Amino acid sequence: MSVAIPPRPPIKSTEVFKKDIFEGKVLFCTGGPSGICKAMTKSIMSHGADAIIIGRKVDKGEAAAKELSNATGQRCVFAQADVREPEQLKAAAKKCIDTFGKIDFVICGAAGNFLAPISGLSENAFATVVRIDTLGTFNTIKATLPHVRRTRGSYIHVSATLHYYGTPYQAHVSAAKAGVDALSNVLAVEEGPRGVRSNVIAPGPILGTEGMDRLTPVGKKDAITRSVPLQRQGGLDDVPNTAVFLFSEAANWVTGQIIAVDGGAMHTNKGSLPYPDSVLDPEGATKSIRAKM
């Protein structure tokens, strides 16, 4: 009888990297008040950086900034901005410069998503996700690049693995994230001679995130876990560990890369979303399935 080998648990970056590797550095993070981006911000700050987090909701953002400051002992401030609005992002970048004097690292992480088949997806809904994810990434680059050039800094763009295979009900975000990947690659080539690096992190199934809570089909979490070669879903420390590496000097010759942080799931995923009978009406027309999934 074979004995099951338990998966390796997530570990914190402070157990691997020196705590002061980002001392004196400044992080600019869109989507920072919550989820994976908040976790990445916390890890970067835990290694000595100060940060500004950008979001639309003031109460949520200010609470997150206070929490991150208290947890790490570093300074974190909040700037209200919608990534779809270039002038608001420029104002956020100015606030960062006025507060900290520079920008070393940028995480482009603002995103939007829901479940809907192409036949039930409106043009406006599709465009909204593209505006948040792809155009929002472009706007963030434009607002921060003059400052990042001065520090010879680095970008991390948060993508996904959905568009590496045909994921049903995710045409909008798949198209948007493919654009994010392309922007990062071009940025790496154009800005490399100036010492600026740009990479993509593509998270797989990460527990404790709004995306997994909203998009995982009911009763499918165990099946998803079994399909991951490393036999567990990701934790909120897994993606930040990769971010710490990519921003560190250990990665100073790594740029233009797309790194899937998914336990190998992209190689075994067969489109894990189901085709429930409730999606099809008697005429066979597909309906939106945003709710309950």
Q: Supply the pLDDT for residue 269.
A: 72
Which residues does 3 contact at the CB level (< 8 Å), separation at least 6?
A: none
Closest CA to 52 of 131, 105, 110, 111: 105
pTM (predicted TM-score)? 0.89
CATH no. of 19-267:
3.40.50.720
Q: Supply the pLDDT for residue 278.
A: 44
Task: Determine the Cα–Cα distance for residues 1 and 168; give it in Å rounded to an integer.
Answer: 38
Residue 291 — very low, low, confident or very high, per pLDDT cuts 50/70/90?
A: very low
Kindly tell me if the per-residue pLDDT of 286 is higher than 50.
Answer: no
Model confidence pLDDT, tens digit, residues 204-237: 888 766 666 665 665 566 777 787 888 888 888 8
The dihedral through the CA atoms of 136, 249, 71, 52 has a sign that is: negative
Model confidence pLDDT, tens digit, residues 83-92: 999 999 999 9
Residue 75 — very low, low, confident or very high, per pLDDT cuts 50/70/90?
A: very high
Q: Supply the pLDDT for residue 236.
A: 83
State the catalytic residues.
Answer: 159, 177
| 154 Rama class: left (phi>0) / alpha (psi -120 to 50) / beta | beta
